[in-house]
Amino acid sequence: MRIFYHPAERLSEIENRCDVLGVVAYGATEPVRAWCGQAPYLGVALSPHGPPVCEVITGGMVKPGARHDVRYAHDGEWLFAAIAVDASGMIETAAIGAYERLLRVAGEEGYGCLIRAWQYFPAIHGVEEGLERYRQFNRGRHQALGGHLARGGIRPAATCIGTHAGHLTVYMLARRAPGVAIENPRQVAAYRYPETYGPRPPDFVRAMKVASDGQQWLWISGTAAIVGHESRAAGDIEAQMREAFANLDLVVASADLGEDRRVVATKIYMRGAGPLPALPGPWARAPVLVLTGDICRSELLIEIEAVVTAGV
Ligand code: 3EB
């Protein structure tokens, strides 16, 4: 498996490949197209710092398909699946629709083990029936994941970010075999957050660890300046960066990857379009995609996700 960022204007270079699980475009108007060659293509309404760019995830020889509004591709080990649903109505309903269909396709194709999910939708701080849309989204996700968890399924690692336009766009990676959930000892598990953050908790784990290609892969969720369950350093982006990277370092340490670990790629979401503070040490050496978007708590200015690998 590989993950890389590719200029959107050179998408044609990707189109003829047979090993692309999925292409996610940032900064192009959505939905521009549904496929990139035989790979599912999803446009997300978040602006990159810089020209429009695509996140490309490749695997082995893939088989594409489309069903229940879900576009997907799989290679025998990994399934990439994407959906875009209208987000102008109740986001709770949209979340249920998106998750149920993604879970159905993943199950039908035999990739019932959720590893990583990304979720983007507009007006994340808007209020619907007296409840913030992010909290409404959590209600919908919780309902849709209920059956999966009851059957012994594991919550995926996740990212959830607010856009300024477009659909609820969700994409995920799933596998035939389960990953190992990793939590952060300095943070309360998100699915155990107290009700002060909403009637239903956000159902995600801090990271998922997977053995693949003879390596260990760690898919780290969007990580912010949260200690315990409380936000830190409100309004101070430099301090929030330090807290977020302290959390990332702790998640990596908890995953026990060994000394030869390296960062494959990171995505940084920033509430403003302002300059990005410098990244610390090893995190600065991997490709970084910086996107402007709304982090799910209004006091949070930055959120960082990453993929780390170790082994031959
Ligand atoms: C947090 O730790 C910050 O709702 O799927 C990070 C990653 C966050 C994923 C989600 C939310 C989600 O609670 C926010």
Q: What is the pLDDT of residues 158-180, one digit of tens each?
A: 999 999 999 999 999 999 999 99
Closest Cα partner for 79 from 177, 169, 180?
Answer: 177
pLDDT range class, residue 29, cuts 50, 70, 90 = low
- What was the pLDDT predicted at 93? 98
> Which residues does ligand 1 sit against, CB inside 6 Å?
119, 158-160, 190, 202, 204, 221-222, 224, 226, 296
In this structure, of 26-35, 185-194, 214-223, 281-290, the range with the lowest mean pLDDT score is 26-35
Closest Cα partner for 233 from 246, 252, 250, 249?
Answer: 246
Of ligand 1's listed atoms, the one at least distance from the Cα of 197 is: 13
Ligand 1 center to 24 CA (angstroms): 20
Share of the chain above pLDDT 70, in %: 99
Of ligand 1's listed atoms, the one at least distance from the Cα of 221 is: 7
The tokens describing 113, both together, are 């083990």
Mean per-residue pLDDT over the chain, rounded: 96
What SS3 string covers the chain?
CEEEEEEHHHCHHHHCCCCEEEEEEECCCCCCCCEECCEEEEEECCEECCCCEEEEEECCCCEEEEECCEEEEECCCEEEEEEEECCCCCHHHHHHHHHHHHHHHHHHCCCCEEEEEEEEEECCCCEECCEEHHHHHHHHHHHHHHHHHHCCCCCCEEEEEEECCCCEEEEEEEECCCCEEECCCCECCHHHCCHHHCCCCCCCECEEEEEECCEEEEEEEEECCEEECEECCCCCHHHHHHHHHHHHHHHHHHHCCCCCCEEEEEEEEECCCCCCCCCCHHHHHCCEEEEECEECCCCCCEEEEEEEEECC
First to last CA, the chain: 13
Residue 303 bears catalytic tag:
yes
Residues 6+ apart with CB under 8 A from 114: 103, 106, 148, 153, 154, 155, 156, 172, 174
Of ligand 1's listed atoms, the one at least distance from the Cα of 300 is: 3
The tokens describing 205, both together, are 């784990």
- What was the pLDDT predicted at 30? 47
Q: Give the pLDDT mean for 63-87.
A: 98
Q: Give the pLDDT mean for 59-70.
A: 98
- What was the pLDDT predicted at 31? 53
Tallying the residues shown for the chain, one arrives at 312
Structural domains in the chain, sorted by start: 2-311 (3.30.1330.40)
- If one residue of 296, 300, 305 were mutated to test the ligand 1 pocket, choosing by the most ligand atoms within 8 A of its CB, it would be 296
- What was the pLDDT predicted at 208? 98
Of ligand 1's listed atoms, the one at least distance from the Cα of 202 is: 4
More confident site: 308 or 213: 308
The residue nearest atom 13 of ligand 1, judged by CA position, is: 190
- If one residue of 124, 160, 196, 300 were mutated to test the ligand 1 pocket, choosing by the most ligand atoms within 8 A of its CB, it would be 160
Ligand 1 center to 295 CA (angstroms): 8
Are 304 and 207 contacting, i.e. CB atoms less than 8 angstroms apart?
no
Q: Give the pLDDT mean for 47-73.
A: 97
More confident site: 191 or 275: 191
The single residue of 30, 109, 303, 305 carrying the catalytic annotation is: 303
96-132 tens-digit pLDDT: 999 999 999 999 999 999 999 999 999 999 999 999 9
Ligand 1 center to 202 CA (angstroms): 7
Helices 91-108 and 133-150 cross at an angle (nearest 10°) of 30
CA distances from 250 to 10, 25, 63 (A): 37, 30, 37
- What was the pLDDT predicted at 28? 80
Ligand 1 center to 50 CA (angstroms): 25
Ligand 1 center to 117 CA (angstroms): 11
Q: Would you say residue 279 has pLDDT above 50?
A: yes
Distance CA 220, CA 14 (A): 26
- Residue 20 φ then ψ, to 5°: -95, 120
For the full predicted model, state whether its pTM sits above 0.95: yes
Distance CA 296, CA 298 (A): 6
Q: Would you say residue 32 has pLDDT above 80?
A: no
- What was the pLDDT predicted at 272? 86
249-276 tens-digit pLDDT: 999 999 999 889 999 999 999 998 888 8
- If one residue of 142, 203, 204, 301 were mutated to test the ligand 1 pocket, choosing by the most ligand atoms within 8 A of its CB, it would be 204
